[in-house]
Amino acid sequence: MGCRQSFRQCCDRPKNTNVRISLPAVCFVWQIVVIILFGIFIRYDQESDAHWAEYRKFQNISSDIENDFYFRYPSFQDVHVMIFVGFGFLMTFLKRYSFSAVGFNFLIAAFGLQWALLMQGWFQSLDPMDGKIKISMESLINADFCVASCLIAYGAVLGKLSPVQLMVMTLFGITLYAVDEYIILNLIHARDAGGSMVIHTFGAYYGLSISWMLYRPNLDQSKRLNGSVYHSDVFAMIGTLFLWMFWPSFNSAITDHGDGQHRAAINTYLLDMVIGHMVHIQNSTLAGGVAVGTAAEFMLMPYGSLIIGFCCGIISTLGYIYITPFMEKYLKIQDTCGIHNLHAMPGVIGGIVGAVTAAAASEGVYGKAGLINTFDFTGKWKDMVPSRQGGHQAAGLCVALCFGVGGGIIVGCILRMPIWGDAPDDNCFDDELYWELPEDEESIPPILEDNNHMRNRDV
Of 163-222, which residues contact a second copy (CB under 8 A)?
163
Task: Candidates 100-108, 188-196, 325-333, 398-406: pick the segment binding a second copy (CB under 8 A).
Answer: 100-108
Residue 74, interface with a second copy (CB under 8 A)? Answer: yes
CB 374 within 8 Å of CB 354? no
**Measured from the CB atom, is 87 or 212 closer to a second copy?**
87
Closest CA to 211 of 161, 147, 173: 161
| CA 243 vs CA 30, 266, 369: distances in Å | 30, 16, 33
**Which H or E run contains 134?**
strand 133-135
Among the candidate windows 298-306, 328-336, 351-359, 389-397, which touches a second copy by CB under 8 A? 298-306
Among 129, 130, 303, 459, indicate the residue that binds a second copy (CB under 8 A): 303
Collapsed DSSP state (helix, strand, coil) of residue 450: helix
Smallest gap, in angstroms, from Cβ of residue 54 to a second copy?
A: 5
**Does residue 160 contact residue 212 with C-beta atoms inside 8 Å?**
no
Binding track, positions 310-349, relative to a second copy; x by CB under 8 A: x---------------------------------------
Q: Does 446 contact a second copy by CB under 8 A? A: yes
Q: Which of 136, 226, 316, 389 binds a second copy (CB under 8 A)?
A: 136
Least distance (Å) between residue 444 CB and a second copy: 6
For residue 140, state whether it binds a second copy (rule: CB under 8 A). Answer: yes
Q: Does 406 bind a second copy (CB under 8 A)?
A: no
- How far apart, in whole angstroms, are the C-alpha atoms of residue 402 and residue 146? 17
Q: How many residues bind a second copy (CB under 8 A)?
A: 132
Nearest to 255 by CA among 286, 299, 288, 287: 299
- Taking the least distance from each CB to a second copy, the nearer of 54 and 187 is 54
- Which residue lies nearer to a second copy by CB, 186 or 362? 362
Query: Under the criterion CB under 8 A, does residue 235 sit at the interface with a second copy?
Result: yes
Number of C-beta neighbours around residue 278 at 10 A: 19
Q: Find the binder of a second copy among 85, 178, 193, 397 (CB under 8 A).
A: 85
DSSP symbols for 64-99: GGGSHHHHHHHHHHHHHHIIIIIHHHHGGGSTT-HH
Closer to a second copy by Cβ: residue 234 or 417: 234
Residue 378 — left, alpha, or beta (φ > 0 → left; ψ -120 to 50 → alpha)? beta
The binder of a second copy chosen from 58, 70, 322, 326 (CB under 8 A): 70
Helix axis angle, 163-181 relative to 22-41, nearest 10°? 30
Contacts of 102 (CB under 8 A, 6+ apart): 88, 89, 91, 92
User: How far apart are the C-alpha atoms of 331 and 351, rounded to whole Å?
Assistant: 24
What single DSSP character describes residue 43? Answer: E
Smallest distance, a second copy to C-beta of residue 6, A: 29
Q: Which residue, 303 or 330, is less far from a second copy as judged by CB?
A: 303
Of 114, 165, 196, 211, the one binding a second copy (CB under 8 A) is 114
Exactly one of 1, 50, 129, 459 binds a second copy (CB under 8 A); that residue is 50
Residue type, 211: S
According to DSSP, residue 126 is labeled B
The C-alpha atoms of residue 241 and residue 287 are separated, in whole angstroms, by 13
Residue 454 CB, shortest distance to a second copy, in Å, is: 8
DSSP state of 63: -
CB of 459 to a second copy, least distance (A): 16
**Residues 188 and 213 sit within 8 Å (Cβ to Cβ):** no
**377 binds a second copy per the rule CB under 8 A:** no
Alpha-carbon gap, residue 293 to 308, rounded angstroms: 11
Q: Report the residue number, 2 or 449, with the smaller CB distance to a second copy.
A: 449
C-beta of 124: minimal distance to a second copy in Å? 17
Residues 15-44 that bind a second copy (CB under 8 A): 23, 27, 30-31, 34-36, 38-39, 42-44
Candidate list 13, 220, 258, 387; residue touching a second copy; CB under 8 A: 258
